[in-house]
Each structure stands twice: as C-alpha cells, then as structure tokens.
C-alpha cells in the first residue's frame, strides 16, 4: 500500500429495509406515477398459514390402513340433500369454482366443462351469465346468481343443475367485480347488456335483498321458479364463517361454499386481495361448528375453496369437516395458465411465468383469460379438458392414498383426529394438536 | 277463468299450476284470492296468460316473468317483477323497494308510489310510476326506460349506464354521473307510447329527461370523488 493513501474505513454493506422492501417501493412508485390502485387477478400472494402446516398421522397399531388399490376408498358425494328434488351426485369431491365468462374465454369455459365432466364433477358459471360452451360441455353445471345479474334469465336458471347465490368471494369479501373495457368484446357486451369497451363494474351487494331474512325469501323465490328441483348453494367469503354459515342455513341453503382469502379472482384491487378476509385454514372449523350446532353437518354440505392445489389439500379440508372443495386458480394452471413455455411473452408483458396476474388486461399469452380472438386460438379446449381431467384424477388418487393410510374407506371419514399441526398458528386455526403434543391454543379445558 | 285461493291451496301448487301453462294454453285467465302478503306469488311464468291478484303481495311478486300479464289489485312488497323478461305487471297500489330490479324487458306499471331503488340495475325493462319514487332509483341502470309522473327522491340515476329516465315532477338530487338531457322528438314519441300503455294521462311534454354523462365509463383518477 502506498503510504500516501488513506486507509479505507470499514463500511456496512448496503442493507435493504424490511419495511421498505423493493416490492413496497415499487408499489409506491407505481401509485405515484398512475394515481390509481393496483388491480390484478389471482389470490393473496403473501405467506399465510395453510394446509401445508398440517400433517396426517397415518396408520399405527391402533389404526390399521386399507390396502391400496384393493380395498375401496369411496370418493362420491351428494350435494343438495336438504330440500332439492334432484340433488347433485358427483364422483369426486372436487368441483370447479365459478369463473366468469368475460374473465375467461369461451374455449376456456368449454375446457373446464370437458375436464370436469370427464372426471365426474361439476363446473360453475360466473359473472356474465351462462354460455352454450359451458352448458353444452358440463354434465353438471352450477349457475351463479350474482349481484350484477348480468345475463340472468329464467331459461338459463331452469337449465342449471344447481344455483349458487354469491354473497361474497374470498379474494374480496365485500367487493364487487370489474371487467375492464379492453375485455368487453361484442359478445361479452351483449350478454351483459352494456356498451362495448367501457369498464364494467359488478355491484358488491344484491340489488333486491339485504340481510339474512331477505335471503330466505330470495331462496324461496328461486326455488319456486325452479320448482324446488335443484339445490341452492350460498357462497360467502371466509370472513365470519360461524355466523355466515349459521345464517345461510337458517335462510334455507342446501349447501354452503366458503372461500378463503387465498381464493383467486379475475380482477380486484391488490390491497383487497392481500388485506381482507381470513385464510382458508382458519375458516373450516368455525363453519363446521355452526353446522354441528344446528344439527346440519352432512345435511347441508360445506364446500371449501381458496388455495386448494393437491389431493393433500382436499384430504385436509375434508378431515376438518368439509364435504367437498372447489378449485379456480389450480384449474387454470392445469389448463396452461402461467406455463413457462410462454416465458418470452410473459417477459414482454414485464412479468415472468408463475407471476403473471394481469388477467384483467386480456393479453394472456396462454389464451385463457382473454377475449382476443387471436390469443384465444392458441388454446385448444379439448387438450385443456384432457389436462384438467388428468389433474382432477391425480388429486383424487392422492386424497385416496392418504385416506387409505388413515384406514378410511371414504374420504368423508377422514377426521380432525387424523391430523397434527406444525405450527402454533395452524394448531389454533385447525383446532388440532401441535405435533408432539396433545394441545392446541384455545383447546377446551386448557387455560391458554 | 280459474279461481285460486292461495291460503287454501298454498304457494307451491299455485306456481306449479302457472308453470304448467304453455304457449297455447286455453286457461288464459287466472284469479288469485287471499294473497295476504305472501312472497313469490306468480314467479317464473312463461306463458301468455293473465293473472289477477286480488289483494296485496309480499316480496318478488311476478319475479322473472315472461309473457304473462299480472295485475295486482293492491300493493306489493319489495322486488316486484324483479328480472322480468317480457310481459306486463300492473300494480294498482304502491310498491316497496327495488321495483323492477334488473328487469330485462316487459312493462312494469305502478299506479301508486314506488319506494327507494326503483329500477335498480335495470337491463331493458320499461317502468312507469304514476306517483313518486324514492331515493337511489335507477342505480347502475343499464338500459330501458323509467318514467315517473310524480317526483324523484335523492341520488336519481347514480352510476347510470344507458337507461333513460323521465321525470315529470321535481328531482331531489341527481346521483353521480347523472345529468339532465335534451328532450328530442323521439323521446316524446317514446313517452307517448309508454304513457298510453300504462293508462296514464300525463303529457309527454311535461317531462324532463335524465341520462348518463358517461364520465365514469372508464376509470379516471380525476373522477375519484364521484365513485
Ligand atoms: C379467473 C377467475 C374468475 C373468477 N370469477 C368468479 C365469479 O365470476 N364469481 C365468483 O363467485 N367467483 C369467481 N372467482 C372465484 C372462484 O369462484 C373461487 O372462489 C376461487 O378461485 C377459489 O380459490 P382458488 O383460485 O385458490 O382455487 C373467480 C376466480 C378466478 C381465478
């Protein structure tokens, strides 16, 4: 070292703030530049307690397993046993959640119908009404009755195998929908009875009823219109699951669809997706408790959604007392959404495969969440249907594998006693013991 | 004429019998007595029949109607003729909230007054109210015509799309993005037709027209106070 040079002073390495992370700073810069909140599709991206924080115990000396492949493990389920003349019979307890035509293309809806029908389960319409593609390819179709009532009509209502009154969605409890002008094709505009190219807001509240007493009368009206033939589900966001389940039962629902905060959406404010609602893991037990308190468990079916990805998730939801699950995002991924084969195009849109969530902009390289005829052509509904069928089959096999290991001859027979939790949070939310203990926070009879 | 005592026969039998009527039915005139404020009377009909209800009804009378003419000799509860597709519903008395909500077609006539949220989210229905209407009427109304011979309450036509609103009396206040518009000859013609169909002797020239200013059609931060 040259004697004339000053010794360099030790410096700290550059440190990022946990509070002002790069993500946060980019949000602030985006807001400052545009003056509008961030809108996106998908569900909560933050880390949350999930079904991954639960484990099954499997068999032991006191619990013997069933032989894989040889001893049956049933998966069928009937929804709507309470009042409907024609309850829905499904081969598997995994249904396709309501996703709007408008958000999804016609061929994507067709693929959902093909895949679900081949796997023996139902699909659900969404905001924007019922399309012939979907009715034609779904052996069991649930027709959503939403606040916007876009496309609602008695003929389609009578074509439905079940009706789902949507009170809320996990991604946005208390929020309406939005479909931005660029996705309003002639067909979408016509179905919704609105001018082409304008932003369409879907109301957040039903136009002709408010509160549980009105809901009871609304359910009566829908039953009268459809001759008490089909089941009526009520879909609510996982906000106050005990009370919402109680009120839906009181109002006369045949089934309750409960959607946790990880649940996907076609488009809403990011702040809504990330900060409103409860994680799916936390909403199952209170809902089941409400059903049990009213003597309605298994009589009124509980369908859980929000971040369901695998047969393990299905088995865990059912062990906690759900009758079935619904999938949205996972079904889209099975169809090809966010597939790295489109990486170059995701890059052009300023994103990367796995992170693409600008579904509302209608530029989906996979041709699924778009109304652009050129992009839509990329998606083959038959191939998509086949992939979805495969995926549903795999999930079912996985759930059966777990159930057999727990000695259960029907997925329904899975129970909380089959589970332990990896974290205190999960133990408290699922009300199953922390692994290695016989205790969970809030356990009756324990003092903390 | 078929006479139907609702208290004696029950709602399910009534609606079932009405649903059994098809395009070419010869049972074209029905009379329902003792409605006693029951809900969901004559909902989901799809036949060219006339249903005369002798008394007042509860929620959703005539809901999702197609083709039928339904006359209520009394007042109606919330959501009369909700989501009507075609046909005609005439109420001699008053209507509660959400009259004609989300209706896609047909004509709803209310000879008395209608409460708040009349014509909410309407999608093509025509509604004529002989009396006054309450607040937040025609909220997010998409298409169709709402004609009010009396006065309108607060926030008329809030977040309106393409529906046309005609008011003869005063408007307490207009909702976001709703403005008064010019009455052109075609509007006078339209009113003439709707008023005569509704047995109303008001003069088309006495009405003012309101519609969407269309400033909220595509989100713009400078309008954020209006949302
Ligand atoms: C593209 C897309 C569109 C959706 N559209 C609707 C809709 O129209 N109505 C509705 O009730 N829920 C809608 N949802 C929510 C789903 O029904 C469901 O609650 C959610 O996707 C479940 O969570 P998951 O995506 O993690 O499986 C939509 C979800 C997605 C991903």
Contact A338, A367 (CB under 8 A): no
pLDDT at A249: 98
Q: Max Cα separation, chain A?
A: 98
Query: Is the pLDDT reported for residue A35 higher than 70?
Result: yes
pLDDT for res A266 = 93
Q: Residue A88 is encoded by which pair of tokens?
A: 């829905």
Is the Cα torsion angle A284, A290, A295, A299 positive or negative in sign?
Answer: negative
Whether chain A has a CB inside 8 Å of the CB on B98: the answer is: yes
Alpha-carbon distance of A101 to A25, in angstroms, equals: 35
Say if domain A39-430 classifies as CATH 3.20.20.70: yes
Contact A194 B117 (CB under 8 A): no
Label residue A17 by pLDDT band (50, 70, 90): very high
How high is the ipTM of this complex?
A: 0.96
A224 and B117 in contact by Cβ < 8 A? Answer: no
DSSP string, B125-145: EEEEESS-B-TTTTTT--EEE
Beta-carbon count within 10 A of A342 CB: 20
- Checking if the pLDDT of A86 tops 80, the result is yes
- Tokens found for residue A36: 């509008």
Instruction: Tell the residue nearest (CA) to atom 29 of ligand 1.
Output: A265
The nearest CA of chain A is from the CA of B142 a distance in Å of: 6
Note the pLDDT of residue A155: 97
Instruction: Name chain B contacts of A214, Cβ cutoff 8 Å.
Output: 59, 78
Chain B positions in Cβ-Cβ contact with residue A227 (cut-off 8 Å): 15-16, 19
- Candidates A43, A328, A331: which one to mutate for ligand 1, based on the most atoms within 8 Å of Cβ? A328
A146 Cα: distance to centroid of ligand 1 (angstroms): 13
Model pLDDT for residues B105-123, shown as the tens digit of each residue: 999 999 999 999 999 999 9
Where do runs of H (alpha helix) occur along A170-324?
Answer: 186-192, 211-225, 241-251, 270-275, 280-293, 311-319
Task: Tell me whether strands B50-54 and B29-33 are parallel, antiparallel or unpaired.
Answer: parallel
Tokens standing for residue A405 = 């290991």
Please say if the pLDDT value at position A87 is more than 60: yes
Distance between CA atoms of A227 and A221, rounded to whole angstroms? 10
Task: Write the DSSP symbol of residue A418.
Answer: G
**Residue pLDDT, tens place only, A159-199:** 999 999 999 999 999 988 777 777 778 888 888 888 887 88
**B67 contacts chain A (CB < 8 A):** no
Averaged pLDDT for residues A264-273:
94
Quick one: average pLDDT of A6-33?
92
Mean pLDDT of chain A: 94
Chain centroid to CA A375: how far? 25
**Token reading at A136:** 């034609």
Nearest protein CA to atom 6 of ligand 1, as residue: A99
User: Do the Cβ atoms of B82 and B104 come closer than 8 Å?
Assistant: no
Going from the C-alpha of A229 to that of each of A86, A145, A160, A223, the distances in angstroms are 5, 16, 10, 7
Closest to A222 (Cα-Cα) out of B121, B4, B83, B105: B83
Contact criterion met (CB below 8 Å) for A130 and A156 = yes
Q: What is the pLDDT of residue B222?
A: 65
Whether chain A has a CB inside 8 Å of the CB on B81: the answer is no
Asked if residue A99 has its Cβ within 6 Å of ligand 1, the reply is yes
Residue A374 and residue A133: Cα distance in Å, rounded? Answer: 18
Which two tokens mark B85?
């597709």
Return the pLDDT at B223.
64
User: What is the per-residue DSSP string for A328-359?
Assistant: SHHHHHHHTTT-GGGHHHHHHTT--TTT---G
For an interface test with B, the pick among A225, A229, A252 (most B C-beta atoms closer than 10 Å) comes out as: A225
**What CATH fold (topology level) applies to the domain B2-215?**
Pectate Lyase C-like (2.160.20)
């Amino acid at each position: 070292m040259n004697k004339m040079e000053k010794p360099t002073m030790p410096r700290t390495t550059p440190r990022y703030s946990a509070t002002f992370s790069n993500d946060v700073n980019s949000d602030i810069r985006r807001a400052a530049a545009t003056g509008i909140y961030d809108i996106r599709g998908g569900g909560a991206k933050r880390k949350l307690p999930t079904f991954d924080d639960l484990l099954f115990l499997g068999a032991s000396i006191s619990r013997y397993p069933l032989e894989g492949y040889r001893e049956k493990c049933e998966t069928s389920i009937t929804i709507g046993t309470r009042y409907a003349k024609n309850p829905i019979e499904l081969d598997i307890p995994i249904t396709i959640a309501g996703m709007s035509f408008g958000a999804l293309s016609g061929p994507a809806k067709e693929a959902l119908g093909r895949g679900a029908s081949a796997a023996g389960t139902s699909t659900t319409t969404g905001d924007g009404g019922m399309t012939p593609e979907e009715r034609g390819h779904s052996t069991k179709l649930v027709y959503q009755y939403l606040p916007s009532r876009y496309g609602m009509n008695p003929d389609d209502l009578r074509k439905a195998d079940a009706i789902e009154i949507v009170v809320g969605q996990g991604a946005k409890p208390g929020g309406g929908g939005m479909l931005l002008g660029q996705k309003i094709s002639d067909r979408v505009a016509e179905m919704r009875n609105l001018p082409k190219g304008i932003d369409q807001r879907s109301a957040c509240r039903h136009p002709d009823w408010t509160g549980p007493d009105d809901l009871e009368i609304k359910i009566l009206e829908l039953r009268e219109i459809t001759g008490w033939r089909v089941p009526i589900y009520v879909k609510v966001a996982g906000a106050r699951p005990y009370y919402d389940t109680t009120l839906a039962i009181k109002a006369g629902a045949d089934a309750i669809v409960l959607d946790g905060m990880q649940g996907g959406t076609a488009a809403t404010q990011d702040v809504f997706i990330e900060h409103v609602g409860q994680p799916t893991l936390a909403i199952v037990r209170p809902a089941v408790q409400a059903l049990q308190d009213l003597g309605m468990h298994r009589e009124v079916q509980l369908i859980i959604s929000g971040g369901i990805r695998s047969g393990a998730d299905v088995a865990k939801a059912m062990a906690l007392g759900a009758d079935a699950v619904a999938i949205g995002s996972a079904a889209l991924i099975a169809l090809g959404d966010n597939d790295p084969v489109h990486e170059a195009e995701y890059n052009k849109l300023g994103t990367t495969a796995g992170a693409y969530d600008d579904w509302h902009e209608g530029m989906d390289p996979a041709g699924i969440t778009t109304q652009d005829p050129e992009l839509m052509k990329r998606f083959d509904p038959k191939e998509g249907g086949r992939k979805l069928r495969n995926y549903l089959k795999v999930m079912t096999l996985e759930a059966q594998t777990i159930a057999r290991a727990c000695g259960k001859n029907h997925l329904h027979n899975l129970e909380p006693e089959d589970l332990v939790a990896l974290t205190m949070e999960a133990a408290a939310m699922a009300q199953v013991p922390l692994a290695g203990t016989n205790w969970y926070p809030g356990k009756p009879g324990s003092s903390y | 004429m078929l006479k139907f005592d609702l208290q004696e026969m029950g709602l399910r039998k009534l609606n079932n019998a009405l649903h059994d009527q098809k395009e070419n039915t010869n049972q074209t005139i029905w009379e329902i007595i003792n409605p006693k404020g029951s809900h969901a009377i004559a909902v989901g009909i799809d036949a060219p029949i006339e249903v005369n209800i002798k008394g007042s009804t509860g929620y959703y009378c005539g809901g999702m109607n197609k083709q039928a003419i339904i006359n209520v000799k009394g007042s109606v509860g919330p959501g009369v003729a909700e989501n009507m597709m075609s046909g005609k519903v005439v109420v001699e008395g008053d209507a509660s909230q959400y009259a004609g909500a989300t209706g896609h077609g047909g004509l709803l006539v209310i000879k008395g007054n209608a409460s708040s949220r009349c014509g909410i989210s309407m999608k093509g229905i025509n509604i004529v109210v002989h009396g006054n209407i309450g607040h937040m009427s025609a909220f997010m109304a998409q298409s169709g015509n709402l004609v009010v011979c009396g006065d309108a309450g607060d926030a008329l036509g809030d977040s309106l799309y393409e529906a046309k609103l005609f008011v003869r009396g005063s408007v307490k206040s207009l909702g976001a993005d709703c403005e008064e518009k010019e009455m052109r000859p075609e509007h006078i013609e339209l009113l003439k037709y709707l008023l005569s169909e509704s047995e109303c002797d008001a003069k088309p020239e006495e009405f003012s027209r309101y519609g969407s200013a269309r400033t909220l059609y595509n989100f713009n931060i400078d309008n954020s106070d209006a949302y």
